Structure formats: structure tokens, C-alpha cells
Amino acid sequence: MLEIVQLPVLTDNYIYLLHEPVSGETAVVDPALAEPVRQALTEKGWRLNYIFNTHHHWDHVNGNLELKKDTSCQIIASAYDKERIPGVDRTVEHGDRLTLGNETIEIIATPGHTNGHISYFCPDSQALFCGDTMFSMGCGRLFEGTAEQLWNSLQLFKALPESTRIYCAHEYTKANGNFALTIEADNPALQRRLAEVTELVAENKPTIPSTLAQELATNPFLREQCTAVQQAVGMLNQTPSSVFAKIRQLKDNF
């Protein structure tokens, strides 16, 4: 089982340290900054072996080269982003598997937010590191891909075990929940989740991770096949991907 350390940085980013205790191997997911990672490694007495990047945006890769210089770690990223992410040593594609000590990590191609976006799924630890593809009660903006691509990516997440913990890259939960309430005001699971989130935010505590079960019950971008959602956005009996696209459009203008 991985030990996961969550580092809040910048305005609302999360960096994640993954430590496999048997081997002692450690990876960092999307180091926006190097210094907080250095500090956490020193406090824990861990040595960094890998950087796992989900996509090329600066607030996910800015610490790459400093950490590589410090630790000689290996940087892993999507083959699509080989020339867009600094310091890449190894590229991966959908269906590839990595190992972090005794932990197997499955690569899921999740285009939409960007064309080269990938996510890292750890089945033994029931943890998904999904970057900016999905947020708690939300999903990423369409900077490069299409709504249908992002919808297809989210279908892959929906097929994972419902106990999977969702480690997304930003603390957007409260704002996402407020938008979700405009779609499903009568959803009791959403009402409960937003109340919990509001309390956590007031106490300056993270709302991440959520679980896939929570997201299936509250995230409008995973609920496009629900009749109430379709009615709310004026898309009753339309294709799921087109309903999703409408919700994304509404969120863009929220």
C-alpha cells in the first residue's frame, strides 16, 4: 500500500508524493514547484526516484528540472508530450504499466483537457492520480481536446472500482459543488457533500481525495445519463456525450 503525501502549493494546486514502503521507492506527481517537494522528502527521509507528469501545463511540470538535477530521478510522461514536458526520460501510452517498488501503476490515456493528458491508476492502493481530467464534482476545461474526447476519458474512470480514491490536481471542490447545485438542486447526496466541503474549506482543510462513489453520486460530468440532469440542461434523450458537452459549456459560463 502506498503512503501518499499531499502538498498544497500555489493558489490551489496539489502535488502528491507516492512512497512504496517495502522498496523505499518514491515518486512525485506533477511537481509545480521543487522546494515543497524537497522539504517533504527531507522530513520523511525519502529519496526521489521518479516524476510522474499528467500533462504539460507549467503548474504541473515547473519543478521537473530542479528535482531531476537534485536527485537524478527519472521523468515519466505521455509520448505525446515528450517535446512539451521538460526533462522526459521515459514515455508511456495507454495500457502501459509502471512499477513503484511492489506497486503496479496503470497508465490511462485521458485526452480532453490537453491532447496528451494521462492519468496514473494504482489498483492495489485504490488510488487515481488524474491531474486536470477530473476534479471533485467537476472536470477540466477543454484547452486542446474535444468534449467527446473528455467524455470518453471520464467513461474510463467510471469503470474503475467505486472505492477508488480520486487525487486530482486542484482544490476546486466548493466552486464545482456550487455549479453542480444549479444542475441538481434536489440531489440529496450533492447537498450532503457540499455541506461537508463547505465545512472543510472553512477549517482550511483539503476536500481531496474524494472517492469515485462520491463522484458518481454528485459530479454532474459523470451523471449525464441521469434523466434529471438531462432535463435540467434541456437535453432530454440526447446522446450522453452531447449532454456532457452542454454541461461543460454551462460550467464555462458559470
The DSSP call for residue 79 is G
Q: Which domains does the chain have, with CATH numbers?
A: 3-252 (3.60.15.10)
By CB neighbour count within 10 A (0-12 exposed, 13-18 middle, 19+ buried), where does 33 fall? middle
The answer to whether the CB of 113 falls within 8 A of the CB of 140 is yes
Which residue matches cell numbers 490515456?
Answer: 109
| 134-165: pLDDT as tens digits | 999 999 999 999 999 999 999 999 999 999 99
Average pLDDT over the chain, rounded to whole? 97
The answer to the question of whether 56 is labelled as a binding residue is no
Residue pLDDT, tens place only, 49-64: 999 999 999 999 999 9
The per-residue pLDDT for range 202-232, each reduced to its tens digit, is: 999 999 999 999 999 999 999 999 999 999 9
* Catalytically annotated residues: 55, 57, 59-60, 113, 132, 170
* End-to-end CA, the chain: 39
Section 159-187 average pLDDT: 97
Strand order across the beta sheet in which 103-109 lies: 97-100, 103-109, 118-122, 127-131, 165-168, 210-211
Sign of CA dihedral 136, 48, 37, 72: negative
With b for 16 or more beta-carbon neighbours within 10 A and e for fewer, the 169-202 pattern comes to bbbbbbbbbebbbebbeebeebeebbeebeebbe
The distance between the two most distant Cα atoms of the chain, rounded to a whole number of Å, is 55
Number of residues in the chain: 254
Query: Is residue 70 annotated as involved in ligand binding?
Result: no
CA nearest to 67, candidates 50, 53, 89, 79: 50
Threshold 0.95, pTM exceeds: yes
The answer to the question of whether 117 is labelled as a binding residue is no
Contact 63, 31 (CB under 8 A): yes
| Residue 19 marked as a ligand binder | no
